[in-house]
Amino acid sequence: MSRTVDSKRNKSAVEMVPQLIALDWGTSNLRANLLDLSGHSIEQRQSAMGVMKVPNGEFGSVLLELCRDWMQAYRIPMIASGMVGSRQGWKEAPYLSCPATLKQAALQLTEVQFDDPVAGKHSVYIAPGLKCIDEHAQTDVMRGEETQIWGAQLPPFSICVLPGTHSKWIWLDASGDFQNFKTFMTGEMYSLLTQHSILGRLMEIPETGAPIKLEVFLRGVSLGVSGHAEVLHTLFAARTAGLMGHLNATELPDFLSGILIGAEIGSARPHAVAKVHLLGEGSLCERYAQAFQYQGIAVAQVGEEATTKGQWLLARAARLVKF
């Protein structure tokens, strides 16, 4: 468990009074923020006990281990978002159909009660996910990203992209609410192809944080964009480029990454993409930014505290907090 105390802001004792415990509980990690009356973090904690690591469904025990002192000292509401509301999570929360608003989500929080042997009963309110139907009558879903978008408070008609294992593209309407979204399994495909396919046999996978080979990556982006409609063929170029000696083993991973991200962009561009808001952290967002700009798509970066802000706005709309 790691802890971070926010000491950047000079605030009065009254302003620093805790009002909400906000839980970002994903597949791999649990992040907890103790929020003040402005929705800013007083202290942050993190645990590696993501949803898939919680033993025997003991979510309450995991939460008590991380936050028991907060819960006992302040007796304040708790709100959670992310995979904790999935079928594999603490309790399945409903999916709201798009178009969807923050106010609608606030009315659909799912309450989970559990016991603290010392302090008695506690409740956690889990945010709903979202679902939409695409032009092929197929259902798409998300959990957690919706809270980030509401927290980002983007302008009307924005397009927001959240890179990741399952990259999300989100289109907002004239009111800045969810219109629809699409999921692209780009990150997962990269992992599978490099680790479990013949493409990876010729590759030397770089260490985490290694600098991108930009020229090679952008060559892949161009190929992916132009060949997105036949991506199962286009991907084979990541093998032939190595076999023919056009790229070496250290260059092929970035080339494959470019193809996949380019195919993702090419698939979404029929929706008239001129500018995107990028929401995420680290080198993956930078990789997407390079790809977008190379294709003439303007990029705006979204602040890193969007999830916590979205949780605060949901709690306020649900009247869990009064400010």
- Note whether 2-154+310-317 and 184-301 share their fold: yes
pLDDT of residue 13: 55
pLDDT of residue 7: 44
- Which tens digit of pLDDT belongs to each residue from 260-311? 999 999 998 766 788 999 998 888 999 999 999 999 999 999 987 899 999 9
- Which tens digit of pLDDT belongs to each residue from 59-93? 999 999 999 999 999 999 999 999 999 999 999 99
What confidence tier does 120 reach under pLDDT thresholds 50, 70, 90?
confident
Q: Report, as an integer, the average pLDDT of 92-107.
A: 96
Per-residue pLDDT for 202 more than 50?
yes
What confidence tier does 1 reach under pLDDT thresholds 50, 70, 90?
low
Q: Report, as an integer, the average pLDDT of 52-60.
A: 94
Per-residue pLDDT for 236 more than 80?
yes
For domain 2-154+310-317, which architecture applies?
A: 2-Layer Sandwich (3.30)
Per-residue pLDDT for 119 more than 90?
no
**Domain boundaries along the sequence of the chain:** 2-154+310-317, 184-301
* Top-tier CATH class for 184-301: alpha beta
- 3 state SS for the chain: CEEEECCCCCCCCCCCCCCEEEEEECCCCEEEEEECCCCCEEEEEEECCCHHHCHHHCHHHHHHHHHHHHHHHHCCCEEEECHHHCCCCCCCCCEEECCECHHHHHCCCEEEEEEECCCEEEEEEECCEEEEECCCCCEEEECCHHHHHHHHCCCCCCEEEECCCCEEEEEECCCCCEEEEEEECHHHHHHHHHHHCHHHHHCCCCCCCCCCCHHHHHHHHHHHHHCHHHHHHHCCHHHHHHHCCCCCCCCHHHHHHHHHHHHHHHHHHHHCCCEEEECCCHHHHHHHHHHHHHCCCEEEECCCCHHHHHHHHHHHHCCCCCC
